[in-house]
């Protein structure tokens, strides 16, 4: 499943962009930090796409009272534009889990990801202004990140699975954020948080205790429409994989 997803994402992206490695995360040269494709046809196409994004009604966006302006407005000050960012996050513990511990390890993993993706914790993971810190770097989370309960924003889906050959426990998470800024997820902060939260459940002599950093890979997907299709596909596939795996274990052991 993991390889199929990686191939599908890579195939879609090869047509218009290239990737480089930076700080433990894959950074896409052809996609900006808010998920807009920078096509080779030039800046005019990018400007047209940016112009179609809805703008905020006011310069003041949140409780801080701070005034926010668009960094691409020419000749006049305009309010910020609304963006939708889709992050595809893979975290691999690099730990092979024995069959008899798969259920408990999966539950722990889910608990860890629920904590990490909680909106309050996202404050510690989101970086503002990765491409233009001078304009976005001092943004206030509660001002520029859209937060609501129904439907929930930010939102996420996490699928947890075991590798087909080495049986290593890993996850794929889809994180969807609506905002009026320029954002990226800090790979360093995510790595540190996952390691600490995971290891809190195990003794240092437990084989599942991580003594090395987990593998963390973050993709910023280029198109909301395409991302929505892939999100549904991944969500259903992950549910199917997880359900079959847990059902098989439960049937064999009679413990759940």
The predicted pLDDT at position 208 comes to 97
Burial, 171: exposed, middle or buried (Cβ in 10 Å; 0-12, 13-18, 19+)? Answer: buried
> What whole-number distance in Å separates Cα of residue 110 and Cα of residue 105?
9
Can you give the pTM of this predicted structure? 0.71
Going by their DSSP bridges, the two strands 25-28 and 148-149 should be labelled as: unpaired
| Number of C-beta neighbours around residue 54 at 10 A | 8
Per residue of the chain (256 residues), give pLDDT as tens: 444 444 443 443 333 333 333 333 333 333 333 333 222 233 333 334 444 578 998 999 999 999 999 998 788 899 999 999 999 899 999 999 999 999 999 999 999 999 999 999 999 999 999 999 999 999 999 999 999 998 999 999 898 999 888 889 999 999 999 999 999 999 999 999 999 999 999 999 999 999 999 999 998 887 555 556 666 655 665 555 444 544 544 454 443 3
SS3 (DSSP) at 187: helix
Burial, 184: exposed, middle or buried (Cβ in 10 Å; 0-12, 13-18, 19+)? Answer: buried
Please state the φ and ψ torsions of residue 76, each to the nearest 5 degrees: -155, 160
DSSP conformation letters of 152-189? EESEEEEEEEE-TTT-EEEEEEEEEEEESS-EEE-HHH
Give per-residue burial for 128-150: e unless 16+ CB within 10 Å, then b: bbbeeeebbeebbbebbbebeee
SS3 (DSSP) at 32: coil
Orientation of helix 224-253 relative to helix 102-116, angle to 10°: 150
């Amino acid at each position: 499943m993991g390889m199929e997803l990686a191939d599908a994402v890579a195939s879609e992206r090869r047509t218009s962009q290239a990737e480089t490695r930076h700080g433990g995360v894959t950074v896409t040269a052809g996609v900006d930090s808010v998920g807009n494709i920078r096509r080779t046809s030039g800046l005019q196409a990018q400007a047209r796409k940016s112009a179609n994004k809805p703008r905020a009604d006011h310069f003041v966006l949140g409780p801080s009272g701070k005034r926010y302006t668009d960094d691409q407005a020419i000749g006049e000050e305009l309010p910020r534009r609304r963006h939708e960012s889709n992050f595809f996050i893979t975290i691999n513990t690099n730990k092979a889990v024995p069959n008899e511990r798969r259920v408990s390890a999966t539950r722990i993993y889910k608990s860890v990801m629920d904590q990490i993706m909680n909106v309050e914790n996202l404050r510690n993971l989101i970086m503002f202004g990765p491409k233009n810190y001078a304009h976005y770097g001092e943004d206030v989370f509660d001002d520029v990140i859209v937060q609501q309960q129904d439907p929930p924003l930010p939102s996420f889906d996490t699928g947890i699975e075991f590798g087909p050959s080495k049986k290593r426990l890993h996850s794929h998470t889809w994180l969807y954020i609506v905002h009026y800024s320029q954002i990226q997820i800090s790979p360093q902060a995510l790595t540190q948080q996952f390691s600490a939260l995971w290891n809190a459940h195990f003794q240092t002599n437990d084989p599942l205790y991580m003594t090395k950093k987990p593998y963390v890979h973050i993709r910023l997907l280029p198109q909301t429409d395409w991302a929505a299709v892939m999100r549904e596909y991944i969500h259903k596939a992950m549910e199917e994989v997880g359900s079959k795996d847990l059902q098989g274990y439960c049937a064999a052991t009679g413990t759940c």
